[in-house]
Amino acid sequence: MSQETLSNLLHENRRFEPPADLAANANVKADAYDEAERDYVAFWEKAAERLTWETKWDRALDWDDPPFAKWYVGGTLNAAYNCVDRHVENGNGDRVAYHWIGEPEGDSRDITYAELKDIVCQAANALTDLGVKKGDRVAIYMPMIPETVVAMLACARLGAPHTVVFGGFSSTALRDRVQDCDARIVITADGGYRRGAPAALKPAVDEALESCPDVRNVLVVRRTGQDLGEGGWTDVRDVWWHDAVDGASKDHTPEAFDSEHPLYVMYTSGTTGKPKGILHTTAGYLVGCAWTHWAVFDLKDDDVFWTAADIGWVTGHSYIVYGPLANGTTSVMYEGTPDTPHKGRWWEIIQDYKITLLYCAPTVIRTFMKWGADIPQKFDLSTLRIIGSVGEPINPEAYIWYRETIGGGRTPVVDTWWQTETGMHMISPLPGVTAGKPGSAMKALPGVSAVVVDDEGNAVKPGSGGYLVITEPWPAMLRTIWGDDERYRETYWSRFEGMYFAGDGAKLDEDGDIWLLGRVDDVMNVSGHRLSTTEIESALVSHPSVAEAAVVGANDADTGQAVNAFVILRESALTDGEPEEGIVDELRNHVSKEIGPIAKPKAILVVAELPKTRSGKIMRRLLRDIAEKREVGDVTTLADSTVMDKIKEGIAAGSDED
């Protein structure tokens, strides 16, 4: 597409109506909105029929003690049975559950539902032999390999809540999560492939477990065959996956658990230092993922679905594992990065596997735009029907590029707004029913009550902005923060009486459609990953050279936001008032070590002072102005109004920026 056409498209107020063929055969029809509006509980009862229940619920929703919801009260079911066994029993055992594609070319594996059932049963038996029982927590720290899904399902089958820790997180982050949920077993691998080379995982586990004496066993998948090195194996504690699982029995009877039995804990960054363990329970979560996956992607029997995300994030949990499997879908799962071994890898995968539904994040779309349209244009992408976006607001330019260049101008784009906490899609067009507009997530799905409110909690009128809240409970909602009910109440339900506060700003356009505007709290969104400013500040301050630190998320053309840090060094780290050589690099690496490479600040500026109000609160807004290279805003509330000038002089001197 020429630059001219692109800007024409952008300048018109674009609106894409659902294509006629999609509209005619849509899974969900327009009347679903009205139906759900009349009685959202009845709507979710109907959606729950997608699952196979051991015992049917006797009360769909218990909201007697808000904000603590119970869905499908009295019902019992097994999540793994719903994801795997029942498809085999229904005669679909030969259907491929995953086309798994390793990063090294040619390294691939197809796994049918029947095979998946066998391995999940074997893993469940192996975990039972290691003493895992209902209610025990299991940490999973893995690359993107089939065993990761198997491990999750084996835990679900046993009623042992899993906590998957993203393989890109550091040993410190792993340690904190293992400790917080008191996991007794860790499942990991020797390593995985990343950017053309094996990347080790096991050493980080060993390091983390030095401070986790209660972990009994580490189950290790051999993926890369790397040498574990001296001290890299702890006899008795460490067990090879192939020794424990491969020989185990393929028979395992799933036990039905209560609807509200904990399914998993997923840690996510909040506004305070310590990550929050978001608790999801069995039935409501599974209903929410299964229904939204079916509705938002207008799922058909012969679809091949690809969520290009890591299983270590909620997107992977809901739309690589639980939603697609509950629906008996064929998915693609890819281990590596988009540019290995070449920049057309994704498009080659779509062409080879005839993918029909693609789901990814705006940040990667912007990267592809930068690499150029000629790369995807070399491949046949005509099988794509619907393409989705998740993780951050998608800018109209990226939306249109995605729709035109990847979707050939045919495919609706579903911009899906949701969170780790919501468990499932909340705001998104339905591709056969709702129009799409570049940059807007459009409207709440049927059964979801999303409202934009002002400071007082009153709904705003079309054409105005405010805060996004959810006013009614939904099945996949988080139930609490692991071990901290008070923090749950405080974080999500105290800002506006009786409403779930998402932490996002939003506006309604004149048609009443919703546009997400990003976080209104101290949470950053870098490449669709959520990071807390406070958490990174704590990491910086934990370095012996740092006296004080302030972190802001500044707009960034590639990653949406980028981490920008301002630090005051301790006297001991200064020579004649100047920072020691290499300190900025050292601090960036320190953050990477403490949290993970994704948290590494893009820029660190050493400053003598930070802008603070008279009550001592750092005015991050002003630092954001600096980081985004703007005129600095109103400084009248600063305790010392000259601070910003000093910071600017420091930058002009030019020596401090990384």
CA distances (Å), 130 to each of 127, 185, 242, 333, in order?
5, 9, 14, 28
Q: Which positions ≥6 away from 54 have C-beta within 8 Å?
A: 76, 77, 78, 256
392 binds ligand WT7 (CB under 6 A): yes
Q: Please say which residue, 415 or 537, places its beta carbon nearer to ligand WT7.
A: 415
Q: What is the CA radius of gyration of the chain?
A: 25
Shortest Cβ distance from residue 429 to ligand WT7 (Å)? 11
Q: Please say which residue, 132 or 398, places its beta carbon nearer to ligand WT7.
A: 398
Q: Which stretch binds ligand WT7 (CB under 6 A): 212-220, 256-264, 311-319, 482-490?
A: 311-319
Please name which of 522, 593, 594 lies closest in space to residue 563, comparing C-alpha atoms.
Answer: 522
Q: Which stretch binds ligand WT7 (CB under 6 A): 169-177, 237-245, 309-317, 574-582?
A: 309-317
Q: Please say which residue, 159 or 423, places its beta carbon nearer to ligand WT7.
A: 423
Shortest Cβ distance from residue 586 to ligand WT7 (Å)? 28
Beta strands in 483-542 (DSSP E): 500-508, 514-519, 523-526, 529-532
Q: Please say which residue, 344 or 388, places its beta carbon nearer to ligand WT7.
A: 388
Angle between helices 583-594 and 533-541 (to 10 degrees): 120
Under 8 Å between Cβ of 276 and 487: yes
Under 8 Å between Cβ of 371 and 364: no
Structure tokens at 498: 């009786």
Shortest Cβ distance from residue 64 to ligand WT7 (Å)? 28
User: With contacts defined by CB under 6 A, how many residues of the chain interact with ligand WT7?
Assistant: 23
Shortest Cβ distance from residue 390 to ligand WT7 (Å)? 5
Shortest Cβ distance from residue 410 to ligand WT7 (Å)? 21
Q: Which stretch binds ligand WT7 (CB under 6 A): 20-28, 141-149, 522-530, 606-614?
A: 522-530
**What is the SS3 assignment for 459?**
strand
364: amino acid identity, one letter: V
Please name which of 282, 103, 79 lies closest in space to residue 194, comparing C-alpha atoms.
Answer: 103
Under 8 Å between Cβ of 293 and 329: yes
Burial grade of 334 (CB within 10 A; 0-12, 13-18, 19 or more): buried
415 binds ligand WT7 (CB under 6 A): yes
Shortest Cβ distance from residue 477 to ligand WT7 (Å)? 13
Cis peptide before 338 (omega within 30 of 0): no
* 71 DSSP assignment: E
Please name which of 399, 328, 291, 448 lies closest in space to residue 86, comparing C-alpha atoms.
Answer: 328
Q: Other C-beta atoms within 10 Å of 35: how many?
A: 17
391 binds ligand WT7 (CB under 6 A): yes
What are 162's strand-pairing partners? Answer: 138, 264
- If you search the block for the tokens 């189950």, which residue do you land on? 219
- If you search the block for the tokens 């410190």, which residue do you land on? 172
What strands lie across the sheet with 514-519, from one edge to the other?
450-453, 465-470, 500-508, 514-519
Q: Which stretch binds ligand WT7 (CB under 6 A): 116-124, 384-392, 477-485, 585-593?
A: 384-392
Q: Write the interaction track for ligand WT7 spanning residues 429-458; mark x where CB under 6 A is met and - where it is not.
A: ------------x-----------------
40 binds ligand WT7 (CB under 6 A): no
Q: ∠ CA(242), CA(248), CA(253), 5° rounding?
A: 135
Shortest Cβ distance from residue 84 to ligand WT7 (Å)? 24
Please name which of 107, 103, 47 lies closest in space to residue 72, comparing C-alpha atoms.
Answer: 47
Q: Write the interaction track for ligand WT7 spanning residues 257-276; mark x where CB under 6 A is met and - where it is not.
A: -----------x--------
Structure tokens at 657: 């920026």
Q: Out of 144, 470, 516, 565, which residue is the one contacting ligand WT7 (CB under 6 A)? A: 516
**What is the SS3 assignment for 153?**
helix
Both ends of the chain: CA-CA distance in Å? 37
Q: Please say which residue, 366 or 530, places its beta carbon nearer to ligand WT7.
A: 530
Q: Out of 116, 142, 311, 314, which residue is the one contacting ligand WT7 (CB under 6 A)? A: 314
Q: Out of 117, 519, 590, 612, which residue is the one contacting ligand WT7 (CB under 6 A)? A: 519
Structure tokens at 67: 């904000």
Q: Which stretch binds ligand WT7 (CB under 6 A): 120-128, 146-154, 414-422, 631-639?
A: 414-422
Q: Out of 209, 295, 390, 584, which residue is the one contacting ligand WT7 (CB under 6 A)? A: 390
Shortest Cβ distance from residue 288 to ligand WT7 (Å)? 13
Q: Which stretch binds ligand WT7 (CB under 6 A): 139-147, 149-157, 188-196, 500-508?
A: 500-508
Q: Please say which residue, 224 or 315, places its beta carbon nearer to ligand WT7.
A: 315
Q: Out of 285, 346, 418, 500, which residue is the one contacting ligand WT7 (CB under 6 A)? A: 418
530 binds ligand WT7 (CB under 6 A): yes
Q: Which stretch binds ligand WT7 (CB under 6 A): 12-20, 178-186, 228-236, 409-417?
A: 409-417
Shortest Cβ distance from residue 295 to ligand WT7 (Å)? 16
Q: Out of 344, 388, 431, 503, which residue is the one contacting ligand WT7 (CB under 6 A)? A: 503
Chain residues binding ligand WT7 by CB under 6 A are: 268, 313-315, 390-393, 415-420, 441, 502-504, 516, 519, 525, 528, 530
